[in-house]
Amino acid sequence: MIIVMSAGATDQEAEAVRTQIRAHGLSPHDNVGTQRVVIAVLGDVAPVREHLMSKLNSMSGIQSVTQISRPYKLASRESHPEDTVIEVRGTRIGNGTLTIMAGPCSVENREMMLETATAVAKAGATILRGGAFKPRTSPYSFQGLGLEGLQYLAEARQATGLPVITEVMEPNLVDVVAQHADILQVGTRNMQNYSLLTAVGKAGKPVMLKRGYGATIEEWLMAAEYIISSGQPNVILCERGIRTFETYTRNTLDLTAVPLLHHLTHLPVIVDPSHATGKRWLVRPMALAAVAAGADGIMVEVHPNPDEALSDGEQSLTFDQFADMAGALRHIHDEVRTLIKDPYVSDGPINVGGDSKH
């Protein structure tokens, strides 16, 4: 349930609404980034809906009360019709510009991190990526430089001015990672690690949430709901491929998720073609396709010498390949922005689930 207060509603009127919500055993949650005061009602509304509605009907300062039909409330477009725009060190994500996140899979040492950061900054990256803590399928594989890697990332930020995004894998490390990074990344394997979602939601930094490789779009939005309801409204969604029976590619990149998410949610959507395809030569066409589908940006892996990378070398771009691709992406992005219709305006009510499949 979403309560929109009138333009001239007083603070007392808004507080009275919040008190009434709490009196029904529910939690009021103020929506961020809206001009009017908008209060979402969290919790199990169903049993008390009728009683709460009758109370609200008799209160002043309320413009409208809307039921949210989807299980994700704060993440839904219904509760927050405007696009969420996230600002990080002067860079904006989700405002119609093209976000390009680039950098090495792993921070391998100080030199390669700085060299890569300088190269991608020069070629047009807007955000710097790099893994300090690496989730690895095998306990015997290189697990990242850890804290040392975070420091090199911070140095690279200073050298280039680019904001830094890096993955955090456990609740206990959220604070230290948040001290060094500008955006916290939650990886595909942790999309439903609820204690981690809650912890990053409380850390005071924007969060990029990768889709679980076996997760539905609805579950992905529910995971975003965990973060937002923990206090962090600035969540970026990153499509990185799902698992299917196809074996020629590492994963199957689900680009239809891009316009679908723009319809269902107000959160920005980034596409990672590196992990989805697993092949360097497939990154460029899929990045172009992502932008044409309306993605707010892409995330790619770049390495000074991919063949010697400690992880994911096969899918990393060289500096030249990245620079060439970034130019092409900006060109197509500019063209496509003038062509994309408002992606969440559709004719009539839209039913996304329950279809028969053919």
Query: Which of the residues 255 through 314 are near a copy of itself (CB under 8 A)?
Result: 255-256, 258-260, 263, 275-282, 284-286, 288-294
CB atoms within 10 A of CB 7: 10
Q: Which is nearer to a copy of itself, 266 or 284 (CB)?
A: 284
Nearest approach, Cβ of 122 to a copy of itself (angstroms)? 20
Nearest approach, Cβ of 212 to a copy of itself (angstroms)? 7
Distance CA 30, CA 281 (A): 45
Among positions 78, 115, 155, 219, the unique one binding a copy of itself when judged by CB under 8 A: 219
Q: Looking at residues 328 to 347 of the shown chain, list those that interact with a copy of itself (rule: CB under 8 A).
A: 328, 331-332, 335-336, 339-341, 343, 346-347
Task: Say if residue 184 is exposed, middle or buried (CB neighbours under 10 Å; 0-12, 13-18, 19+).
Answer: buried
Distance CA 249, CA 57 (A): 56
Nearest approach, Cβ of 177 to a copy of itself (angstroms)? 13
Distance CA 197, CA 176 (A): 16
Rg (CA), the chain: 21
Nearest approach, Cβ of 104 to a copy of itself (angstroms)? 17
Nearest approach, Cβ of 356 to a copy of itself (angstroms)? 8
Q: 217-229 and 257-264 are packed helices; what angle lies between their axes, rounded to 10 degrees?
A: 40
Nearest approach, Cβ of 293 to a copy of itself (angstroms)? 4
How many C-alpha atoms does 127 have within 13 Å on its Cβ side? 30
Q: Which residues pair with 101 in a beta bridge?
A: 127, 299
**Residue 47 makes contact with a copy of itself by CB under 8 A:** no
Nearest approach, Cβ of 285 to a copy of itself (angstroms)? 4
Contact predicate 71/224, CB 8 Å: no
Q: Looking at residues 224 to 253 of the shown chain, list those that interact with a copy of itself (rule: CB under 8 A).
A: 225-226, 229-230, 242-253
Q: Which is nearer to a copy of itself, 162 or 207 (CB)?
A: 207
Q: Looking at residues 83 to 122 of the shown chain, list those that interact with a copy of itself (rule: CB under 8 A).
A: none
In three-state secondary structure terms, 105 is coil
Distance CA 249, CA 311 (A): 17
In three-state secondary structure terms, 107 is coil
**Residue 166 makes contact with a copy of itself by CB under 8 A:** no
Write the DSSP assignment of 27-42 as a string of letters.
Answer: EEEEPSS-SS-EEEEE
Exposure string over 324-341, b if 16+ CB within 10 A, otherwise e: ebbeebeebbeebeeeee
Distance CA 105, CA 114 (A): 14
Among positions 24, 91, 192, 202, the unique one binding a copy of itself when judged by CB under 8 A: 192
Contact window for a copy of itself (CB under 8 A) among 103-111, 169-177, 231-239, 297-305 = 169-177
Nearest approach, Cβ of 167 to a copy of itself (angstroms)? 12
Among positions 8, 35, 69, 357, the unique one binding a copy of itself when judged by CB under 8 A: 357
Among positions 32, 189, 304, 313, the unique one binding a copy of itself when judged by CB under 8 A: 189
Query: CA quadruple 74, 75, 76, 79: dihedral positive or negative?
Result: positive
Nearest approach, Cβ of 295 to a copy of itself (angstroms)? 9
**Residue 78 makes contact with a copy of itself by CB under 8 A:** no
Q: Which is nearer to a copy of itself, 160 or 234 (CB)?
A: 234
Q: Which is nearer to a copy of itself, 51 or 136 (CB)?
A: 136
Size of the site for a copy of itself (CB under 8 A): 93
Contact predicate 223/192, CB 8 Å: yes
Q: Which is nearer to a copy of itself, 81 or 214 (CB)?
A: 214
Q: Which is nearer to a copy of itself, 117 or 224 (CB)?
A: 224
> For residue 277, what are the contacts with CB-CB under 8 A and spacing of at least 6?
241, 249, 250, 251, 253, 283, 286, 315
Among positions 28, 103, 131, 212, the unique one binding a copy of itself when judged by CB under 8 A: 212
